[in-house]
Amino acid sequence: MEPIYIASLISFIASLLGYIIIRFWILPIGRYLKIKGRLVSDIGALLNMLRAEQAQDNDRAHIESIGVSVRRHCSDLVSIYQNDLPYWYRLHLESKKERPLEAAKFSLRLANTRKQEHALRQVNEIKRFLHIKRSGFQ
């Protein structure tokens, strides 16, 4: 066999493996982390709006839109976790005790919560289940 054929075969196998790793590992993990970041920022915005609600009651429509966004991101997070993430990464998340399915329940409750003390409880549970270290919201 000529060296050009061997080089082309090795190149084909390397590109095939690269495609599989990128398509089925790197992209789903990146989507999971991006959606998780959006969920964290939406929860922080919702919490800020709930705190400001005591002073102003005219932002009810904005609070509702953020609540819809929280529910949508939560749904996307659960979908990616269950369908797209590789099994080894789900095991990695479980070893870190990060449980997005349980956090999803609390984020759905948070989207419908209007009282500040209840929202704080929901946020603390979400932070605990998703291991959110950022203290942008409390």
Got the DSSP string for 58-109? S-HHHHHHHHHHHHHHHHHHHHIIIIIS-HHHHHHHHHTT--HHHHHHHHHH
134 pLDDT tier (thresholds 50, 70, 90): low
3-state secondary structure of 122: helix
pLDDT of residue 74: 84
Average pLDDT of span 109-125: 77
How do residues 50-96 score in pLDDT, each as one tens digit?
667 554 555 667 777 777 788 888 889 999 999 999 999 999 999 99
Torsion of CA 3, 4, 10, 11, to 10 degrees: 150
Cα dist from 133 to 40, 75, 116, 130, whole Å: 11, 22, 21, 9
Cα separation, 35 vs 42, whole angstroms: 10
pLDDT band at 138 (very low <50, low <70, confident <90, very high): very low
For residues 36-41, give the mean pLDDT.
Answer: 88
| Nearest CA among 127, 130, 124, 125 for reference residue 93 | 130
The token pair at 85 is: 């993430």
